[in-house]
Structure 1
Amino acid sequence: MYKQTVVLGVVPVKRGFLSMEEARRQKDKFMKVIRGVKPEAVKIIDVDDLSENGIMWELDKVPAVIDKLKANSIDALFIPFCDFGEEQVVAEIARAFDIPVLIWGARDERPNTLESRGRDTQCGMFAATKVLSRYGVKYSYIYNCETESPEFEKGYENFIRVAAVIKALKGLRVAKIGERPGPFMSVMTNDANLMKHFGITVVPISPFRIAETATKLIKEQTEDFVTYYEELTGRMDCSTMKTDEIEKAAGVKLAVKKHMEENRCSVGAFECWSAFPGLIGICPCVALGELADEGMPLACETDVNGAITMAILRACDLYENAEFLADLTIRHPENENGELLWHCGPFPYSLKAKNSSAALVNAQEQFELKQGDLTICRFDELDGKYSLFAGEAKTTTGPKTSGTYVWMEVDNWKRWEEKLMFGPYIHHVGGVYGKYLPILREAARYLGIEFDDAHKEGIHSL
């Protein structure tokens, strides 16, 4: 299963003359919280070996902290304030990196008195963030709340998800298996711009090579091939297909995975119906869903921006569940805010509804997806300007249809449709189960692209 871990540098800060005992108390509290949030997805790098109690305030120790964080190749930086903090220390550390930065400090329990001085945490964060802005450092912020509050834990987890998205796109390699279908001008992309703006590399892989490798696997009947063939036919009704057709579908899936791994690609765009029937005799849509379940999703119809969309969704979900790419097809016949998310048969089997039987027909899956909350997203471009459309929805019931599908209900379909029609988008959108709108909004800010919120008004239709 393909997965990435976020390496997080954590550098607590304090004011030099304020109480170390109180600062340590604050640090112990928030470190206990963050170590319990998604520990399987986060590797924390602290500075306990570089400063007293692992809390920074001395400017002369900044270079050593930066060196350690760079040596550990951190993906994101969290600077929690134990009190007012030291804005010079904060700024010098943060400006040394081009990664997401999180600022937060716990809410003070009481004001200062004649007898004792409090922490003035919020005050210090106002000062430090002004300096960060002067240096051009982009940062995220959790508002001044208690350490044990749901707001802090949720804000921290959201930041980890944002950092995962930014990491996912840095150095992303997208397998481009074939060319776009001739009629599909809408899926055109500019590979050079993707590399320039995001460091994304599009790697061409010939469909002929895939077909050649699949044929070899079928002929050799390797242990991996036989095991996968038996597993696939054991969970899907393949009664309408011939044995050699099923073998071809299984072979293509294994061949695509092999070539993607050899080319260090974790997502891909696949020339399906316009290439493979002529090369191997079937349209192996099942390969797309099966690889999504292994953390290596592919977009139909050589939709490179669709593949990047799924890379974004995969990361904001911290690689816990599979994502899918769907056509926006028809409106619900009875629900004014309902829309059909459909494609001919490339959705992940893991997302299948329990009461929906799974079949393989013409090497294309046939089943309905499960019910639940959805986040819908589309990364796309026009004239060199990139946008990220996103909205939250929920599934609903509707008429049965062919292929793989699920009915979606949104807050206001008219607004969604207007956004999609007037924006630089096409009929393909990515979907993932869960609610991730704040993560996508913040990720778009770090990426320097327009965030197109489906829940806000745009250009109106007539």
Structure 2
Amino acid sequence: MDKIKIGFAPTRRNLFSADAAIEYANLTRTKLTKLNIDFVDITEINADGLIYDDAGVEAAAAKFKAADIDGLFIANENFGTEYAVARLAKNLDVPVLLWGPKDERPAADGSRLRDTQCGLFAIGKVLRRFKVKFTYLQNCDIDSPQFERGMQDFVRVCNVVKTFRNTRILQVGPRPFDFWTTMVNEGELLEKFNIQLSPVPIGEITSEIKRVKAEETDKVQTTVEWFKTNTEVQISDKDLEMVAALKVALKNKVEFYGCNAGAIQCWTELQDEIGILPYASLSLLQDEGIPFTCETDIHGAISELLVEAANLGQDRAIFADVNCRHPDNPNGELLQHLGVFAYSTADNKPILPQRHFVFDYPGSVAFEALKGEYTLCRFDGDNGDYSLLMGTGKGIEGPYNQGTYLYLEFANLNRLEFKLVEGPYIHHVAAIRKNVVPILYESTKYLGIKPDFFDPIEEDVKAYLRGE
């Protein structure tokens, strides 16, 4: 959470008790600190440290922009000044969280100090008038589990939005000719979402491999030793050195072009050039927080970034083909690849085998992934429309497979199958061992893409977001 910075904007209205609003704003500040939320405060903008007029809006906006906040937290400490916080939110273009503390019991004479809930109704309406997307955290006590969960979830939402809006993908080679499924519209990705591609030819990577083998031998050798320590190496020393050199070369190019993910034409020109498959190298990049997909699947790389961002990078993703039905379980499905599962997802010591039955080259990876509940995610689109498919599956036992693999059981496999066939999705998905569906769902309102589910769980997700 230390990477996400939240602008704290408490508000009040003059008609109600200023002292009570100040008291609750200070209580909110204390709670945010206890929750380790990195927030930017506005205590110096006026005597109250609260938003209620244009001068406060201008001062707060200037401070928040200078701090480059990732999200705005509007805390309605009494009825609040709806036009002021709406102007502030409109000026910042970041995800917005709206909340107010539950009102206390009326005084003995029947008077009330704050009327916070009523003000929340007003602010929500005015934010809509300003066309400001916002997340609502239910009107609850500041020490309630709902408040803590809602704040932490909002940080995750901000992380997804920040990641999406700052994505640049290293594209190594064009898509393989046979993979028409992975074609993308580079111009649309830039125009709609500010997602940038950095295309480089395979020759640029092979030249970098030659350079690192000559000039960065320490990095290559460190990577070789990592493989010897953390995997069962069944390939030759020469091939292992190439696996390590490819990993170092790709990471260098990611850093050189300022990218946060990559996609590579993994076959067959690469094998003609360097004699190995890239998957062992890609799996290590995955483990280091650089999602790197095969078959030049740009949308797949975006999917990985989103699903990892939803859990603040605490779990690494697998990138998999949704491949074939379980031979015995009617709702079981095989997720597999020649690699591209982060090594930290392995349930047994990973193997670097001499070959895989699909390609007679070294450089693949073999292990079964850890079981558990997984979130599946696929960002995709065609004909100008983009959406995010999401849902969950549970790890189950299944027959042995070569490569990296995992069997998942779904509530109804037919629903997933029809989604992948009828589109706009393909057979590639990103997945992590954590249920982050509500975070992804809430994020889509800020990303400008349609949320989509392969199971009818939208009402359950909404209930979670209501704190139920």
Give the TM interval when normalised to the shorter protein: over 0.9
Residue 108 of structure 1 is matched in structure 2 by 103
The answer to whether 1:74 aligns with 2:65 is: no
Shift of residue 335, structure 1, vs aligned partner: 2.0
The answer to whether 1:309 aligns with 2:299 is: no
Conservation of the 8 A alpha-carbon contact between 2:338 and 2:364: yes
Shift of residue 156, structure 1, vs aligned partner: 1.4
1:326-345 paired onto structure 2 within 5 Å = 326-345=320-339
The answer to whether 1:385 aligns with 2:385 is: yes
Conservation of the 8 A alpha-carbon contact between 2:264 and 2:295: yes
2:386 match: secondary structure: strand
Residue 222 of structure 1 is matched in structure 2 by 217
Moved more, 405-414 or 47-56: 47-56
Shift of residue 53, structure 1, vs aligned partner: 4.5
Partners of 2:321 and 2:282 lie apart in 1 by: 15
Residue 57 of structure 1 is matched in structure 2 by 52
The answer to whether 1:33 aligns with 2:27 is: no
Deviation per residue, 1:278-304 (Å, 9 max, x gap): 110111211111011111111110001
Partners of 2:363 and 2:199 lie apart in 1 by: 24
Partners of 1:36 and 1:387 lie apart in 2 by: 36
What is the one-letter code of the residue matched to 2:103? D
The answer to whether 1:9 aligns with 2:42 is: no
Residue 171 of structure 1 is matched in structure 2 by 166
Conservation of the 8 A alpha-carbon contact between 1:110 and 1:118: no
1:248 match: secondary structure: helix
Residue 368 of structure 1 is matched in structure 2 by 368
Deviation per residue, 1:134-179 (Å, 9 max, x gap): 1111111011122112111111111111111111121311110011
What is the one-letter code of the residue matched to 2:171? K
1:43-442 paired onto structure 2 within 5 Å = 43-111=38-106, 114-220=109-215, 222-239=217-234, 241-353=235-347, 356-361=348-353, 362-442=362-442
Q: Which runs of 5+ in 1 are unaligned?
A: none
Conservation of the 8 A alpha-carbon contact between 2:20 and 2:113: no
2:92 match: secondary structure: coil
Conservation of the 8 A alpha-carbon contact between 2:161 and 2:447: yes
2:56 match: secondary structure: helix
> Structure 1 residues 386, 4: CA separation in 2 closer, same or farther (over 3 Å shift)?
farther
Partners of 2:130 and 2:8 lie apart in 1 by: 20
Shift of residue 113, structure 1, vs aligned partner: 5.6
> Structure 1 residues 9, 285: CA separation in 2 closer, same or farther (over 3 Å shift)?
same
Deviation per residue, 1:203-256 (Å, 9 max, x gap): 1022111122213323446222111211211221113x1111000000000000
Partners of 1:400 and 1:32 lie apart in 2 by: 53
What is the one-letter code of the residue matched to 2:292? L
What is the one-letter code of the residue matched to 1:5? K
- Compute the RMSD of aligned alpha carbons: 1.8
Deviation per residue, 1:331-386 (Å, 9 max, x gap): 12222221111101221111111xx1321021111111112221100000110100
Conservation of the 8 A alpha-carbon contact between 1:215 and 1:248: no
Shift of residue 457, structure 1, vs aligned partner: 8.7
Q: Which runs of 5+ in 2 are unaligned?
A: 354-361, 459-468
1:287 match: secondary structure: helix
Deviation per residue, 1:297-329 (Å, 9 max, x gap): 111100010011111112111122211210001
Conservation of the 8 A alpha-carbon contact between 1:59 and 1:88: no
1:423-462 paired onto structure 2 within 5 Å = 423-456=423-456
Partners of 1:416 and 1:313 lie apart in 2 by: 18
Partners of 1:226 and 1:365 lie apart in 2 by: 19
Conservation of the 8 A alpha-carbon contact between 2:286 and 2:340: no
Moved more, 181-190 or 281-290: 281-290
> Structure 1 residues 32, 226: CA separation in 2 closer, same or farther (over 3 Å shift)?
same
Partners of 2:243 and 2:41 lie apart in 1 by: 48
Deviation per residue, 1:407-435 (Å, 9 max, x gap): 11222212222222222010100101211
Residue 356 of structure 2 is matched in structure 1 by none
Shift of residue 193, structure 1, vs aligned partner: 0.1
- Identity within the alignment, %: 37
Partners of 2:137 and 2:61 lie apart in 1 by: 23
1:375 match: secondary structure: strand
1:204 match: secondary structure: strand
Instruction: Please list every run of at least 4 consecutive aligned residues from structure 1 whose deviation after the TM superposition is greater than 4 angstroms.
Output: none
1:392 match: secondary structure: strand
Moved more, 277-286 or 147-156: 147-156
Partners of 1:445 and 1:17 lie apart in 2 by: 34
1:325 match: secondary structure: strand
Partners of 1:381 and 1:22 lie apart in 2 by: 50
1:378 match: secondary structure: strand
> Structure 1 residues 318, 116: CA separation in 2 closer, same or farther (over 3 Å shift)?
same
What is the one-letter code of the residue matched to 2:46? S
Partners of 1:400 and 1:183 lie apart in 2 by: 28
Shift of residue 4, structure 1, vs aligned partner: 8.4
What is the one-letter code of the residue matched to 1:210? I
> Structure 1 residues 232, 128: CA separation in 2 closer, same or farther (over 3 Å shift)?
same
What is the one-letter code of the residue matched to 1:119? R
1:290 match: secondary structure: helix
